[in-house]
Structure 1
Amino acid sequence: MSMFKKLFGSKEAAAPIQQPTVSAANKTINCIQNLDDQEQTLEKRKNLLEKKIDAELQRARELNKQGKKNQALLCLKKKKLMENELTNLDNMILRIVEQRQMLEGQRTTVEVMSAMHGAAQVGKANLKSMNIDNVDKVLDDIREANEQMEQIQQVLGAPTGMSADLDEDELLNELEEMEATDLDAELLEPAPVPTNRVPAAKLPAVPTQKAKTEAAKSPEELELEALQAEMAL
């Protein structure tokens, strides 16, 4: 049994859900519309009765003032009958509202269930296209490819040719011997002797006799000497 079958297990095929037909949906819509029309008709009848009740009550008061009690009582009886009918109308309107709400709720539920059923069918189709056995095979192929790649990398990373014959332990021993030799040479080398000599300070240069003589001459004398030198040439 594959990994996915172990994980999800096997389920018995559930009974298919019957989708609502277009005619059934249309019947529901028509029925709701019919209930709305009936409610409007009853509301109109109710408004008319309320006006008649007010009129009979007003007439009974006028007849009673005129001393016509029998006619006033007749108006009150009519009023009472219309009030009873008004109560019945209220009850019928309430029943219509309840029936309409029930149908609207059923319609919403059917639409939601239809959408969920469609989504479930699409999900089943997707699972069939994937095929759990094929998924297991793909995973096995991926694992096999990874193992082969690891083997290839190990082969490529292994030393070949002359480097494969080199003994790393021998090279490490040689490196340790070199480090020990360098350390012994450093220990045997004498330490440098520090010197406390102070560098001699530079003395100012002593001017020569010629410089002293030239410095003692005036500018006029120097100019005269230059003129004599030109005439000699």
Structure 2
Amino acid sequence: MGGIISWCTLNPLKGNILGMIVQLKSQRDELEEYRICLINRIEETESCIKDYVTHGNRNQALLCLRKKALLVDQLSRIDSYLYQVLQVISDTELAQVNVDVYKHLKLGSELLSKLSKCMQMDDIESMLAVWQTCRENMEDTTCALNEHSSVVDNEALLEELEQLCRGDAVDIAKNLQVAPSSCTPNSETVNISQPATTIPLAPVDHPPDEPKMVAPLNSC
């Protein structure tokens, strides 16, 4: 077991790094299985020790105690090996990531050096000027769009307010038209505002005047 760990740590990695990581992970799984097996054997040994002590068999109990001590020592070594394997796996994966990052950084630096050789300082200044102009134009456009949107919103709000006012005016006019019809008196009530019609009286027949009696004159 120690030979594998020393080979992984001392000898340089050759071949495919991913394949080496897979081998290390398989070794990690084997160590974990063996560790579980040792734990089970230690538990069985402890139960045997209790049985021997209960029955008074001191020699067998002493042998089981020695066996348990060896198993515990083996378990501690397995834990140490497992920790080393996990450390190697994490270091290898981190090294692989660092190698990839280094490759990309190296490629980027090479491209920048080639680009700097091809371009002159005047070209760079002109590109920066164009970029600054584009940025200012974008800012002006954004400000104009924001102002236009605010104006449109205000106009829409004012139009909505006018529609509401018109609707209220129409409702008030309808209420005024409906109110007189609801207050008209019944047919039985007399309209005081209209003048009373005069009923023509029938002509009264007066009796003819009686002839007045003339007193006779006394003869002298």
- TM-score, normalised to structure 2, is 0.47
- TM-score, normalised to structure 1, is 0.45
